[in-house]
Chains A and B, each alone.
Chain A
Amino acid sequence: MSLSEAKNNHDPGEADLSDIAIEDVGAASVDKNDRARALASFKRDDRVFYWLTRLSALCVLAILGGIILTLIVGAWPAMRTFGFEFLWTQRWAPQLKPEPILGALGPLYGTMLTSFLAMLIAVPVGLGIAIFLTELCPQTLRHPISLAIELLAGVPSIIYGMWGFFVLGPFLADTFQPAMIATFQHIPVLNSIFAGPPSYLSLFNASLVLAIMILPFITAISREVFNTVPPMLKESAYGLGCTTWEVMRHVVIPYTRVGVVGGIMLALGRALGETMAVTFIIGNSFRISSSLFAPGTTISAAIASEFAESDGLHQSSLILLGLLLFVLTLFVLTAARLLLMRLERREGVAS
């Protein structure tokens, strides 16, 4: 049956594209009923598939809603008992009778401090490696090294934690800290930073492991962002006689600033919420000490080490800690994503 015949046979309004296709594919023998049935089943399939995908997409929203809801419900008893005082109470006494006293100041301080120190180490080093990889490294090594770094970004964080516990901890406690104490003994502020009995479990150790863990992450993102700079721009700068550093400083970094900052904040979000890399080595102590070599705790480490054996108000307080952590990372990650989206949009305009 030809196309024009098909059109003549039916009301033109009904003859949509699939009508014609069926007639052509199914040859002349196709019964009218069969066709209607096939079309109806197509239509049904279409609708089912559409809703299946739409519901799955809404699932993503539901997960976020579920997370926020369960955290608030779980944290409610602690919120009601402690109120805002929870934020600046340092004491953590879950066993106290008749009422436990619990406060978030210790873990909040630990989370902020370890993340800050980790970023302080990892950002310059990570950016340095990224610059090295995009501008300085010999072409033959460029690919293997970037590949190795990207693979390292995928190594489970518990491995970093174990290494910190078994290897870095003993080294810091037996060699590094005594040397530092001996060096800074008589200098006022510094001696308190390094004070205390040498211990495997310390905020400094945790920060260092955290730094090593986010290093490949920062490097991978910055390298990717640096690679978005059009070669033409860099070549023009080199053509004008710029040195490598001047090209980085005046062309690559201004061009990618937003993306680099976004990547760094993404890494910060990871450092804030990282659990397994710090739990072994931080010592789970809620007291705030002036020494970096004293044990401390972070929100995630506190939850990881105490949650399974907690109940009642203690558990609720741990969930409240989790809620605080979630809000904190939500802010950081939202800022990071907004920055990265700005970069993407600009790229879209440019291309």
Chain B
Amino acid sequence: MNPIYMRRRRANVGITGLCIASAAFGLIWLGLILFTLLWNGLAGLQWSVFTEMTPPPGSTTGGLANALMGSLIMAGIGVAIGAPLGMFAATYLAEYGKHEKLSSLIRFINDILLSAPSIIIGLFIYGAVVVPMGGFSALAGSLALAVIAIPIVVRTTEDMLNLVPTPLREAASALGMPRSLMIRRIAYKAARTGIITGILLATARVAGETAPLLFTALSNQFWSLDLTSAMANLPVSINNFVQSPYAYWKQLAWTGALIITLAVLALNISARILGAERSKS
């Protein structure tokens, strides 16, 4: 065979081989992580995890009830603040100021915030909320999570609003609908599943965030619903248990990690299913 052709063939086989090898290599690592997580997490998954409080040092009983509740509360408040704010901001970007200079600036900064290190958000809330309020609080934790959720919601909502066909808006305006009503009744409705998908993705991201809670919400060992004091939460509890010397705590850390991962995966998957439904219709 022609030597040039042979050389090209060899190069091709070599490189595609490397690609397949790298795919196998990467997938094996990722599979290994999921496997150890399932293996270790399932070992400690029992009913008491959901009903008992986080244990004091040395104890061999106890669960994660207060941490789970705290996580739910903080993620809930965080999204409840972040989602409407992000939605309105995106509405401005997509509906009112689409071609303004200000909007491009906001879009750009939003993209930067989207990937800003989450620990920096923690420092920001510490300086802006924890210090003036005089102590760690669940409220500060929720605000930190809201700051993380906002850019995600802004990005997805704006993308979705941009997908709404302009003739739909024009038709509404031609019927005499005022602009704000048109946006709320027509544009939001047409983009609804997309917006919900974005909010679900933001919730998924917020649920697993640890770094910004380390010094905003802190943690505690008791059942607490008081928003103005430190509140236990799953990620920080895991963080504390991993670094502890007690075997039972480490077991609880794995179980907590499994619960978080499953919750995040469930949120991501439902967001995807919603997204798939949208593109079908």
Q: Are B127 and A57 in contact (CB under 8 A)?
A: no
CB distance from B258 to the nearest CB of A (A): 9
Chain B residues whose CB sits within 8 angstroms of the CB of A246 once the complex forms: 8, 12
Contact A60 B88, CB 8 Å, known A74-B127, A128-B22, A156-B208: no
CB distance from A66 to the nearest CB of B (A): 6
Interface residues on chain B, number (Cβ under 8 Å): 97
Q: Which residues of chain A (126-184) have a CB below 8 Å from chain B?
A: 126, 128-129, 131-133, 136-137, 145, 147-149, 151-152, 154-163, 165-167
CB distance from B135 to the nearest CB of A (A): 12
A342 is an interface residue with CB less than 8 A from chain B: no
Q: Are B20 and A158 in contact (CB under 8 A)?
A: no
| Segment of A82-90, A98-106, A186-194, A211-219 in the binding face | A211-219
- In this complex, what residue of B is CB-closest to A158? B210
Chain B residues whose CB sits within 8 angstroms of the CB of A334 once the complex forms: 112
Q: Are B118 and A275 in contact (CB under 8 A)?
A: yes
Q: Are B260 and A129 in contact (CB under 8 A)?
A: no
Q: Are A60 and B110 in contact (CB under 8 A)?
A: yes
How distant is the Cα of A210 from the Cα of B176 in the complex, in angstroms?
A: 55
B1 is an interface residue with CB less than 8 A from chain A: no
| Segment of A229-237, A287-295, A318-326 in the binding face | A318-326
Cross-chain contact of B88 among A56, A73, A322 (Cβ < 8 A): A56
Q: Are A163 and B176 in contact (CB under 8 A)?
A: no
How distant is the Cα of A49 from the Cα of B89 in the complex, in angstroms?
A: 11
A46 is an interface residue with CB less than 8 A from chain B: yes
Chain B residues whose CB sits within 8 angstroms of the CB of A53 once the complex forms: 88-89, 91-92, 95-96
Contact A49 B205, CB 8 Å, known A124-B22, A159-B261: no
Chain A residues whose CB sits within 8 angstroms of the CB of B120 once the complex forms: 67, 71, 273, 322, 325-326, 329
B154 is an interface residue with CB less than 8 A from chain A: yes
| Segment of B46-54, B55-63, B177-185, B191-199 in the binding face | B177-185
Cross-chain contact of A60 among B96, B121, B151 (Cβ < 8 A): B151
Q: Are B215 and A163 in contact (CB under 8 A)?
A: no
Q: Mark B68-92, 1 if CB is under 8 A from A, else 0.
A: 0000000000000000011111011
CB distance from A44 to the nearest CB of B (A): 10
Q: Are A243 and B9 in contact (CB under 8 A)?
A: yes
Q: Are B112 and A304 in contact (CB under 8 A)?
A: no
Q: Are B89 and A57 in contact (CB under 8 A)?
A: yes
Q: Are B26 and A129 in contact (CB under 8 A)?
A: yes
- In this complex, what residue of B is CB-closest to A322? B123
Q: Are B117 and A132 in contact (CB under 8 A)?
A: no
**Given A166-B36, A307-B126, A322-B123, 13 other A-B residues pairs in contact with their CB atoms under 8 A:** A21-B177, A53-B95, A57-B93, A60-B113, A128-B19, A131-B19, A136-B19, A149-B30, A243-B11, A274-B117, A326-B120, A333-B112, A334-B112
Which residues does B use to contact A, with CB under 8 Å? 8-9, 11-12, 15-16, 18-23, 25-27, 29-30, 32-34, 36-37, 40, 85-89, 91-93, 95-97, 102-103, 105-106, 108-113, 115-121, 123-124, 126-128, 147, 150-151, 154, 173-181, 183-184, 204-205, 207-211, 214-215, 218, 235, 238-239, 242-243, 250, 253-254, 257, 260-261, 264-265, 268-269, 272
Question: What are 8 A-to-B residue pairs whose CB atoms are below 8 Å?
Answer: A50-B179, A60-B109, A61-B106, A133-B23, A215-B29, A244-B16, A246-B8, A333-B111
Which 7 pairs between the two chains have the least Cβ-Cβ distance? Answer: A21-B176, A273-B117, A156-B208, A128-B22, A70-B127, A49-B180, A56-B88
